[in-house]
Chain A
Amino acid sequence: MQVTMTVNGAEVSADVEPRLLLVHFLREQLGLTGTHWGCDTTQCGACVVWLDATPVKSCTVLAAMADGRSVRTVEDLEQGGELDPVQQGFMQEHGLQCGFCTPGMMMTTRWLLDHNPDPDQATIREAISGQICRCTGYENIVRAVRWAATHAVSEEVQA
């Protein structure tokens, strides 16, 4: 079947099998391999993308279900050569080691900061509680998000 959706602001059309999962559509058909594919069982959150501006686990959405909708992936965080504050936060605070969980963590926490610009530690931990990191022990991820919260976009541009 033919699907047409907006991915990172650009309209894309493709012929897909109805059973194709969104994560595989993004990675294999569009080559957007920033979105990771981990557990396959809706538990790890490596595959989190935004669907109509809401974070979802893309291993548990059919590409067909995104037809006519908009998708945002980690590739869209950097704007005009400038990293998103969340990405900078992960660099500054060593919020990653292997990086496998990172795209999902960043998509969820970008969304969190858009809705709650100054979340406390408990709120950040709750927000990422459906996502698994095997490296960092989460401590530095929480710090990375706090870093982003305290470095708003305007300051970051001056920096």
Chain B
Amino acid sequence: MQVPAPVDYRRARDVSHALQLLDQLGPEARLIAGGHSLLPMMKLRLARPECVIDINDLDELDYIRIEGNELVLGAMTRHAALLASPVVGEHYAIFHDAERVIADPIVRNRGTVGGSLCQADPAEDLSAVASALRANLVIRSASGTRTVPARQFHTGPYETVVGPAEILTEVRVPIRPGAGSAYSKVERRAGDWAAAAVGAFVVLTEGTVANLGIGLTAVGADHFCAPAAEDYLRGKPPTEEHLAEAARLAAESSSPTADQRGPVDYKRHLAGELTLRSLRRAVARAEGRV
């Protein structure tokens, strides 16, 4: 039987209260959102906080909205809400592609966008999506608010720039009119973490790729991204040959490790193949073909 070690429990009323509790309780206290990463780690005693601060009452962080030319997701948005949101699908199908294969429907009822990004598991699908889309992440502390680009947010496996007395409040994604996007994942069985996955968006102008982003999951890519592949494809027409070369470069920028989900060469192969598939689908969507 897996049970967490003894722990204290506090419930935050709002963001200011959560920050106050973090400040007061010190670095051994941890926020708990959906708890679907933290509680499993506490059960395995891989995490042993002295106190958990429950932020499930923070309705002020549970929203999906358009602000100016940005799509904004509150940190307490559940996976299920993201998947069900028409406005998200309208601008970025990549989110729906990814959410359909994140865990299972019941886990998605509970897990949150903020928890996913802050957990910083190398196989976290939304980290690669945020990286592909060059999202900006808003972090609040008692002394103010700062915004960090997704590609500078993760500092290593299970590590982010969020400090012990800070809270991630929202994810801001620039809306790019006409963008097509997609996410492709290979998993061993329904609901499992990725063996590898890749997300991409493209914006086409007069038959060339004017803007794009590629995000890689679970293959050890620096900051979940593939800048060399992006640089190569930018300004070129999205021919099969160009997409394939970009995919090859993306695979080259991965550095997977062997584990029960597969050996290194297999995962690198997947990184390339899934880049190709996501780029193809993103292009087709941008062209309005699907």
Contact = CB atoms under 8 A, between A and B. Distances in A.
Q: Chain B, interface size: which category?
A: 20 to 34
A130 B106 CA distance: 6
Contacts of B104: 45, 129-131
Nearest to A24: B3
Nearest to A64: B9
A10 interface: no
Contact of B35 (A43, A61, A126, A127): A61
B4 A65 contact: no
B290 interface: no
A18 B54 CA distance: 11
- Is chain B's interface secondary structure helix, strand, loop, or mixed overall? loop
Interface residues of A, number: 29
Interface stretch (A50-58, A84-92, A144-152): A50-58
Interface in B95-120: 103-107, 109-110
Interface string A46-80: 00100000111100111011010000000000000
A65 B3 contact: no
A42 B42 CA distance: 13
A19 B5 contact: yes
B2 interface: yes
A137 B191 CA distance: 17
A127 B9 contact: no
Interface in B1-35: 1-9, 11, 32, 35
A65 B43 CA distance: 16
18 contacts: A18-B6, A18-B8, A18-B9, A19-B4, A19-B5, A19-B7, A21-B39, A24-B3, A43-B191, A55-B109, A56-B109, A56-B110, A60-B35, A62-B35, A64-B11, A65-B32, A130-B104, A130-B105
Given A55-B106, A60-B40, A108-B106, 4 more contacts: A21-B39, A41-B2, A62-B52, A131-B104
Interface of B: 1-9, 11, 32, 35-36, 39-40, 42-43, 52, 54, 56, 103-107, 109-110, 190-191
